[in-house]
């Protein structure tokens, strides 16, 4: 199975290929770039370069994987549009995962790779991303799992603190410090880390191996867009 995975939901653009080498070993090739804008112009050239660099062609792909949100409206649309286009052109199955579950997998890999003070005692890992307007995107997982304990949600810090106060928590993401402080304030146990964490397609490619195809590639926005249609100017 040769999987192409990509993400454009937040402040990074990434793509990854997971395929078997000549000796049957699994190989992962990846490209990851942090950026506030420019995902649309970056993604497809990134994918083309990655496939060529691996000595493969689009026809060698057997599966696609994409993050479907939450995230910025433009970023979520870019990734899903690319997935729909490639699915139609190549006739491939696509699996979709939340951007927060991919961030959780990346955080778990980083935690396993080195010492992080206070991380060893935690039972719950929560990815918490500042969504502005007094709200955050959040999803919670058992400390060594990428299956959610609670589905991805848009909530206030106070709501999440009450939900998590009885757990031993690791909080990661741009909203981690705010949530950890709020949990501590209500008598809970939490440590914040990795405030700059972004999704990475490498981890999406690895997760996709165990995921079934997604029937409908619908975006997970969680909040309504702030954009409003232009008012008609009326007759001249």
pLDDT digits (tens, 9 = 90+) for 185-206: 999 999 999 999 999 999 999 9
Tokens at residue 121, please? 């005692």
CA-to-CA separations, 79 to 65, 115, 176, in angstroms, rounded: 10, 34, 25
CB 138 within 8 A of CB 175: yes
Distance separating alpha carbons of residues 85 and 127, to the nearest angstrom: 30
Q: Provide the CATH number for the domain formed by 99-193 in this structure.
A: 3.30.420.200
Calpha distance 219→62 (Å, rounded)? 23
| pLDDT tens digits, 78-107 | 999 999 999 999 999 999 999 999 999 999
Q: List the chain domain ranges.
A: 3-98+198-208, 99-193
Q: Report strand pairing: 26-34 vs 63-67.
A: unpaired
Range with lowest mean pLDDT among 2-6, 140-144, 157-161, 193-197: 140-144
Distance set, CA 99 to CA 22, 69, 166, 167, 174 (Å) = 32, 5, 25, 23, 14
What's the pTM value of the predicted model, to 2 decimals? 0.92
Q: Which CATH superfamily is domain 3-98+198-208 in?
A: ATPase, nucleotide binding domain (3.30.420.40)
| Nearest partner of 18 among 46, 67, 52, 51, judged by Cα | 51
Q: Taking all residues of the chain, what is their mean pLDDT, rounded to a whole number? A: 92
Q: Write the DSSP symbol of residue 213.
A: P
């Amino acid at each position: 199975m040769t999987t192409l995975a990509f993400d454009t939901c937040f402040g990074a653009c990434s793509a990854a290929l997971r395929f078997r080498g000549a000796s049957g070993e699994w190989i992962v090739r990846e490209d990851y770039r942090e950026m506030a804008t420019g995902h649309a112009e970056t993604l497809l050239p990134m994918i083309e370069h990655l496939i060529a660099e691996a000595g493969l062609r689009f026809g060698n792909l057997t599966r696609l994987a994409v993050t479907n949100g939450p995230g910025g409206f433009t970023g979520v649309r870019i990734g899903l549009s690319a997935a729909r286009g490639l699915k139609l052109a190549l006739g491939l199955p696509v699996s979709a995962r939340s951007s927060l579950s991919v961030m959780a997998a990346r955080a778990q890999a980083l935690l396993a790779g080195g010492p992080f003070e206070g991380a060893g005692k935690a039972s719950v890992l929560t990815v918490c991303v500042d969504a502005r307007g007094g709200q955050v995107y959040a999803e919670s997982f058992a400390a060594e799992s990428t299956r959610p304990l609670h589905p991805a949600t848009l909530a206030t810090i106070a709501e999440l603190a009450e939900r998590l106060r009885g757990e031993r928590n690791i909080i990661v993401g741009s909203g981690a410090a705010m949530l950890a402080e709020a949990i501590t304030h209500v008598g809970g146990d939490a440590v914040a880390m990795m405030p700059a964490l972004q999704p990475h397609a490498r981890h999406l490619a690895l997760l996709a191996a165990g995921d079934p195809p997604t029937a409908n590639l619908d975006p997970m926005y969680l909040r309504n867009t702030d954009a409003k249609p232009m008012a008609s100017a009326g007759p001249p």
